[in-house]
Amino acid sequence: MFYLTQMLGKPVVDAEGETVGRISDVAIATGEVFPRVTSLAFLGPNKTPFMLSWRKFVASVDDERIVLGASWPELRFSYLQPDELLLARDLLNKQIVDTQGMKVVRVNDLKLSESRGQLRLLGAEVGVRGILRGLHPIVENAAARIAGLLGSDLPENLIAWNYMDLLDRDLSHVRLSVTHKRLHELHPADVADVLEQLTPSQRARVFEHLDNVQAALTVAELEDEYQADVIDDLGSQRASDILEEMDPDDAADIIGDLPYDKAEALLRLMGVQEARAVRSLLGYREKTAGGIMTPEVTTVTEEMSVQQVIEYLRTEAADREGIYYIYVVEDDGRLEGVISLRDLVISDPQTPVADIVSRDVTSVGPDDDQEEVAETMSKYDLLALPVVDETGKLLGIVTVDDALEVMEEESAEDLALATGTSREHGPLANTWWWLVRRSAWMLVWAIAFVIFLAVRSPIGDIAPGNPFRGPFAVGLDMLVLSLILLPVLLRTAEELSSRTLAELIEGEDEDERPSLGTRLAREGAIGLVAAAVTGLIAFGLALVAPGIEPVVAWPFAAVTAVATLVTVLIGGLLGHTAVKRSIAGKRVSGTGLAITAMAIGTGVYLALSFASGVLWIATILAELG
């Protein structure tokens, strides 16, 4: 087995044993399941780039070098063919789509294998092992041994060539056997999952290789926050073509999120019927039955026979949603009843529709709340639900996929409200949300650390003749050390709030929830272990930190341990309070829990650190004189 990162830079030796250059790249032919290496690129004398045919000139390859089958004067330059690419230039450290795992990954190395005199590409290494190997094989081996000692392994994360799609190259003139054609073979929902991981420019590049039908299905599967952005980034004509292929309700949702000028331009470019259907839906309020319904409904009249209805379905309504139900209407469009597809199949072809129609039809109005619509469909096990106006005229239907999306959306909103993780939109709200997100405390910590370093630097020289530089300066030393370990306390507080939220979400019975004493005892046991660990870390840090007096190691370790234990106990107390509020039906904010626990833990830690540093050194100085 060979790895590209290990091959690069290896010597290239001709048939006379003379070193003629060093490997800079290898090329592969892309139209194979396991592509063979076709060319060798190397830097010759004076760093002149050369490319040779692998089949004609390479005699052997090993871990140390590549040996050519001809002497230097006999070598002949070759050129990269349209169906070839260079591994180091075009793949290494580039983003690719793992079409099996439905995710975007980065190529850290490439694995090759020699078979029957040919070197073939097996796949791309996208895991940590490839990163370590790129640093040096010794680093990789050392990490593997350490993992083995810990009872685990360091596996390769290899993606085979036939599951790879390239993203970072212009592929308009290169037809790879798997490039982007693989995306056509995926379900639109899987393609959408991949697109959501890409940058806007990469998404646009992928859309160039999707036809309008595939693109429309894919856009419909994207999360709401991506749909309008994707359409807005496309050219007006292509965007309108895609919207025409989409179901009217999906197209209306996207157009409603676009700027007015862009929306009007797209509607004018769309077909007359498609634009009319979309405009009719844009008039309804959001989160209502009218806002999520589709106007494309399969309707028949009572005078038709079963055979006529079946022929109509085959010719006129084959591409419509909700074909499982056929709605019977009067000439003026008023809903009279419904026929299921099952009724049609089992009925005699000559049976009149009037004989098999069910007139007991559950329906909703266009202004009914979408959550009530979804609950109605769930209650009666319906695949579609008709929407009628006040006169009984059929306006459209809500399909089961729309109802499922509503239920998922409402469930997420309810959970967000229950845990306090919901947020308003807007620049200020978005900025605040970014600051309080998971691990955002790192930013606060970094800023505070820089500020305290700047403050401490001039104060440290107040009493240069004093080995302890005065109690106040040593207190600042303790603060600096505390800031270095502050993320440990912040992470502890965040974890405690997460555990409380998990407890709230699981919704245990009140009699199964631990009492305050039990909770504090449990958290205290955990806190003691955490305090011991953080105390040892603090002691070692104080001993090795430059410019810090070693005499503060013991008080700093004690303060860190105490602050950790206090943070854990405070977190337990806050968690108990949050559970009580939840039982009482009051709102509990997960963000508020985390921030409160972090603020208390930080305040306790910094105050104890500074005070203990001042008191400790003041006591020593008093004893000395």
Render pLDDT for 284-332 as a digit per residue (tens, 0 to 9): 888 899 988 988 888 999 999 999 988 888 887 666 666 788 999 998 8
The predicted structure's pLDDT at residue 305: 93
Give yes or no for residue 495 having a pLDDT over 80.
no
Tokens encoding 468:
């302890």
Give yes or no for residue 44 having a pLDDT over 90.
no
Looking at this protein, which amino acid is placed at residue 396? G
For residues 535 and 561, what is the distance between their CA atoms, to the nearest angstrom? 5
Cα 382 from chain centre: 33
Residues 6+ apart with CB under 8 A from 481: 538, 541, 542, 545, 548, 552, 556, 609
Q: Report which of residues 584 and 502 the model is more confident about.
A: 584
Give yes or no for residue 557 having a pLDDT over 90.
no
Give yes or no for residue 533 having a pLDDT over 50.
yes
The predicted structure's pLDDT at residue 437: 46
Q: How confident is the model at residue 511 (pLDDT cuts 50, 70, 90)?
A: low
Residue for token pair 């006379």: 16
The predicted structure's pLDDT at residue 549: 61
Give yes or no for residue 578 having a pLDDT over 50.
yes
C-beta of residue 296 within 8 angstroms of C-beta of residue 278? no
C-beta of residue 179 within 8 angstroms of C-beta of residue 165? yes
Residue percentage of the chain with pLDDT more than 70: 72
Give the mean pLDDT of 225-239. Answer: 85
Q: How confident is the model at residue 173 (pLDDT cuts 50, 70, 90)?
A: very low
Q: How confident is the model at residue 413 (pLDDT cuts 50, 70, 90)?
A: low
Q: Which helix (H) or strand (E) holds 324?
A: none
C-beta of residue 392 within 8 angstroms of C-beta of residue 359? no
Residue 423, helix vs strand vs coil? coil
For residues 220 and 289, what is the distance between their CA atoms, to the nearest angstrom? 19
Give the residue among 578, 589, 223 at the shortest CA–CA distance from 423.
589
- The whole model's pTM is what? 0.48
Which of 96-100, 496-500, 572-576 is predicted most confidently?
572-576
Give yes or no for residue 228 having a pLDDT over 80.
yes
The predicted structure's pLDDT at residue 176: 30
The predicted structure's pLDDT at residue 200: 78
For residues 308 and 348, what is the distance between their CA atoms, to the nearest angstrom? 12
Burial class (CB in 10 A: 0-12, 13-18, 19+), 6: middle
Half-sphere exposure of 314 (CA within 13 A, CB side): 7
The predicted structure's pLDDT at residue 126: 79
Residue 326, helix vs strand vs coil? strand
C-beta of residue 330 within 8 angstroms of C-beta of residue 353? no
Q: How confident is the model at residue 94 (pLDDT cuts 50, 70, 90)?
A: confident
Q: Report which of residues 101 and 576 the model is more confident about.
A: 576
Residues 6+ apart with CB under 8 A from 548: 477, 480, 481, 542
Domain edges within the chain? 2-163, 186-283, 299-399, 433-624
Burial class (CB in 10 A: 0-12, 13-18, 19+), 63: exposed
Helices (H), 78-185: 87-90, 128-135, 137-149, 181-184
The predicted structure's pLDDT at residue 337: 93
The predicted structure's pLDDT at residue 103: 64
Domain 186-283 has CATH 3.40.50.720: no
222, 226, 232, 236 alpha-carbon torsion, rounded to 10°: -10
Tokens encoding 231:
């359409």
CATH class belonging to 433-624? mainly alpha
Report CA-CA distances (Å) from 324 to 38, 197, 247, 320, 496: 55, 35, 17, 10, 50
For residues 550 and 541, what is the distance between their CA atoms, to the nearest angstrom? 10
For residues 572 and 517, what is the distance between their CA atoms, to the nearest angstrom? 10
- Any idea which of 244-248, 387-391, 403-407, 579-583 has the lowest mean pLDDT? 579-583
Q: Which helix (H) or strand (E) holds 97?
A: strand 95-98
Give yes or no for residue 80 having a pLDDT over 70.
yes
The predicted structure's pLDDT at residue 494: 67
The predicted structure's pLDDT at residue 567: 82
- Any idea which of 39-43, 210-214, 418-422, 529-533 has the lowest mean pLDDT? 418-422
Tokens encoding 218:
């894919």
For residues 473 and 547, what is the distance between their CA atoms, to the nearest angstrom? 11
Q: Which helix (H) or strand (E) holds 541?
A: helix 516-544
Torsion angles phi and psi, residue 197, rounded to 5: -95, 0
Number of neighbouring beta carbons within 10 Å of residue 174? 16
Residues 6+ apart with CB under 8 A from 116: none
Torsion angles phi and psi, residue 96, rounded to 5: -135, 165
Residue percentage of the chain with pLDDT more than 90: 11
Give yes or no for residue 560 having a pLDDT over 50.
yes
47, β-bridge pairs = none
The predicted structure's pLDDT at residue 356: 92
Q: Is 151 left (phi over 0), alpha (psi -120 to 50) or beta?
A: left
Number of neighbouring beta carbons within 10 Å of residue 423? 13
Residue for token pair 């504090």: 520
Give the mean pLDDT of 95-107. Answer: 66
Torsion angles phi and psi, residue 351, rounded to 5: -65, 130
Give yes or no for residue 204 having a pLDDT over 70.
yes
pLDDT tens for 374-406 read: 999 988 888 899 999 999 999 999 988 888 888
**First-residue to last-residue Cα distance in the chain:** 72
How high does pLDDT run on average in the chain? 76
Looking at this protein, which amino acid is placed at residue 204? A
Q: How confident is the model at residue 206 (pLDDT cuts 50, 70, 90)?
A: confident
* 3-state percent breakdown (helix, strand, coil) of the chain, nearest 5: 55, 15, 30
The predicted structure's pLDDT at residue 562: 86
The predicted structure's pLDDT at residue 606: 80
CATH class belonging to 2-163? mainly beta
C-beta of residue 239 within 8 angstroms of C-beta of residue 268? no
Alpha-carbon torsion (599, 601, 602, 603), positive or negative: positive
- Any idea which of 236-240, 280-284, 437-441, 593-597 has the lowest mean pLDDT? 437-441
Looking at this protein, which amino acid is placed at residue 400? V
Instruction: Using the CB atoms, write b or e for 346-374: b if 16+ within 10 Å.
Output: ebeeebebeebbeeebebbebebebbebb
Q: Report which of residues 525 and 380 the model is more confident about.
A: 380
Residues 6+ apart with CB under 8 A from 589: 419, 420, 421
User: What architecture is the 299-399 domain classified under in CATH?
Assistant: Roll (3.10)
For residues 476 and 461, what is the distance between their CA atoms, to the nearest angstrom? 12
Which of 30-44, 142-156, 368-382 is predicted most confidently?
368-382
